[in-house]
Amino acid sequence: MAKGDGSAAKRETSGRFSKSEIKQMEKLLEEGKDDLLDEKFHQKLAEEFNRLPNRAGNKAIQMKQVQRWFTKRKNPSSENTDSYHSSEDLVTAVDTSQSVSAAPESSSDMPGDAGEKDPEQAELEFEARSSRDNAWYDVSTFLAHRILSSGEPEVRVRFHGFGAEDDEWVNIKKDVRERSIPLESSECQKVDVGDLVLCFRERSEQAMYFDAHVLEVQRKLHDIRGCRCLFLVRYDHDDSEERVGLKRLCRRPKY
């Protein structure tokens, strides 16, 4: 399959499953139950995940996200759709059995090696933007790094919740960054006009995180359901606008 063909479909499951949730789904997959592709099963599992204490403050998992996760793994792609640079473009390609930070670039250009940290925290430390759909995904592992003849550093990433067929080379300076932070209801004041945010955009066939800028904020009184404020955002990748609630937003870390 040529790069781009069906790429949106490959990454529609952009919900941020936790490590424990993925382990539970993998266990169910190994058990080979007959109802793994049944919508009622997917809905029940999504509701179970959303009741977990560690999902408080995060975007709720949708039934379609669970459905696509199982569908993808029951019918895996047989071909890696990632495109590679030609050998003339590639100057350095290093297997990251060495630390990623060992690349011949300054430490500010490279994510540090997360090998010494708690696995649950390490997998959520960085996010990377896919060239296939311009959406951001949590990084599970940095697999290799290289320097192109242009001098641009790249790293090959394994996206959290995806397999090797979705590994991708991304530009370190432009497309890898510290993970965006989900907002609690009490943190709405941290979002203001002009801010860059990561916004969860839901469509009938897509559910992905995109960069967006806040155009307008409507402050409202909170109630028993939490924050009721509304935020008008413009997505950076296509200039479309949408009014969303706080639960759809993640803020960028402040330095």
Look at residue 159 and tell me if it is in a domain: yes
User: Do residues 21 and 49 touch, judged by C-beta distance below 8 A?
Assistant: yes
Check whether residue 112 and residue 192 sit in a common domain: no
For 32-66, how does the pLDDT look when each residue is reduced to its tens digit (9 = 90+)? 777 777 888 888 888 888 887 766 555 677 787 78
Is 81 a residue whose pLDDT tops 50? no
DSSP assigned state of 6: T
Look at residue 80 and tell me if it is in a domain: no
Check whether residue 245 and residue 200 sit in a common domain: yes
Look at residue 82 and tell me if it is in a domain: no
At residue 57, the pLDDT reads: 55
For 5-20, how does the pLDDT look when each residue is reduced to its tens digit (9 = 90+)? 333 333 333 456 777 7
Angle formed by the axes of helices 39-50 and 63-74, nearest 10°: 120
CA distance 208 to 199: 8
Alpha-carbon Rg for the chain in angstroms: 19
Mean pLDDT of the chain: 75
Report residue 75 as tokens. 């019918």
Q: How far is residue 91 from each of residues 6, 154, 169, 172, measured CA to CA in Å?
A: 30, 11, 14, 15
Range of the domain at 117: 90-178
Check whether residue 12 and residue 53 sit in a common domain: yes
The residue that leads in pLDDT, 11 or 112, is: 112
Check whether residue 118 and residue 130 sit in a common domain: yes
- How many separate domains does the chain show? 3
User: Do residues 138 and 16 touch, judged by C-beta distance below 8 A?
Assistant: yes
Domain end point (choices 178, 200, 220)? 178
* Residue 45, number of CB atoms within 10 A of its CB: 21
Residue whose token pair is 């990454």: 11
Look at residue 165 and tell me if it is in a domain: yes
Backbone CA torsion sign across 129, 212, 186, 225: negative
The residue that leads in pLDDT, 194 or 116, is: 194
